[in-house]
Amino acid sequence: MNRESSVLIKNGDCRKLLPVMPAGTAQMVITSPPYNIGKEYEKRTSLEKWAADQKEVIAEAARLLKEGGHACWQVGNHISNGEVIPLDSIIIPAMREAGLKIRNRIVWTFGHGLHCRKRLSGRHETIIWGTKGDAYTFNLDPIRVPQKYPHKRYFKGPRKGELSGNPLGKNPGDVWDIPNVKHNHPEKTAHPCQFPEDLVSRLVLALTEPRDLIIDPYAGSGTTGVVAARHSRDAILIEREASYVAIARDRLSLPISFQKGVAA
Ligand X SMILES: C[S@@+](CC[C@H](N)C(=O)[O-])C[C@H]1O[C@@H](n2cnc3c(N)ncnc32)[C@H](O)[C@@H]1O
- SS3 of 186-236: CCCCCCCCCCCHHHHHHHHHHHCCCCCEEEECCCCCCHHHHHHHHCCCEEE
Give min distance, CB of 141 to ligand X, in A. 26
Measured from the Cβ of residue 132, the count of other Cβ atoms closer than 10 Å reads: 25
With CB atoms as reference, the residue minimizing the distance to ligand X is 220
Nearer to ligand X, 197 or 234 (CB): 197
Binding mask 214-253 for ligand X (x = CB under 6 A): ----x-xx-x--------------xxxx--x---------
Beta carbon nearer to ligand X, 3 or 72: 72
Q: How many residues bind ligand X (CB under 6 A)?
A: 21
| In the complex, minimum distance from the CB of residue 70 to ligand X, in angstroms, rounded to a whole number | 16
Shortest distance in whole angstroms from residue 110 CB to ligand X: 14
| Cα 123 versus chain centre, distance | 17
3-state secondary structure of 24: coil
Q: Do 197 and 191 touch, CB atoms closer than 8 A? A: no
Residue 204 binds ligand X (CB under 6 A):
no
What are the angstrom distances between the C-alpha of 65 and each of 12, 58, 88, 98? 20, 11, 20, 11
For the CB of residue 58, give the shortest distance to ligand X in the complex, in Å.
13
Convert residues 8-37 into a mask of x (bound to ligand X by CB under 6 A) and - (unbound): -----xxx----------------xxx---
In whole angstroms, what is the distance from residue 116 CA to residue 111 CA? 14
194 binds ligand X (CB under 6 A): yes
Options 2, 21, 37, 41; binder of ligand X; rule CB under 6 A? 41
Using rule CB under 6 A, residue 126 touches ligand X: no
CB atoms within 10 A of CB 102: 16
Binder among 191, 230, 233, 251 for ligand X (CB under 6 A): 191
Q: Rank residues 30 and 98 by Cβ distance to ligand X and give the closer one.
A: 30
Of the candidates 29, 65, 193, 237, which one interacts with ligand X according to CB under 6 A? 193
- Classify each residue of 75-89 as buried b or exposed e, where b means 16 or more C-beta atoms within 10 Å of its C-beta: bbbbbeeeeebbbbe
By CB under 6 A, residue 141 contacts ligand X: no
What backbone phi and psi angles, to 5 degrees, belong to 11?
Answer: -95, 105
Contact at 8 Å (CB) between 108 and 174?
Answer: no
Question: Interface residues with ligand X (CB under 6 A)?
Answer: 13-15, 32-34, 41-42, 191, 193-195, 218, 220-221, 223, 238-241, 244
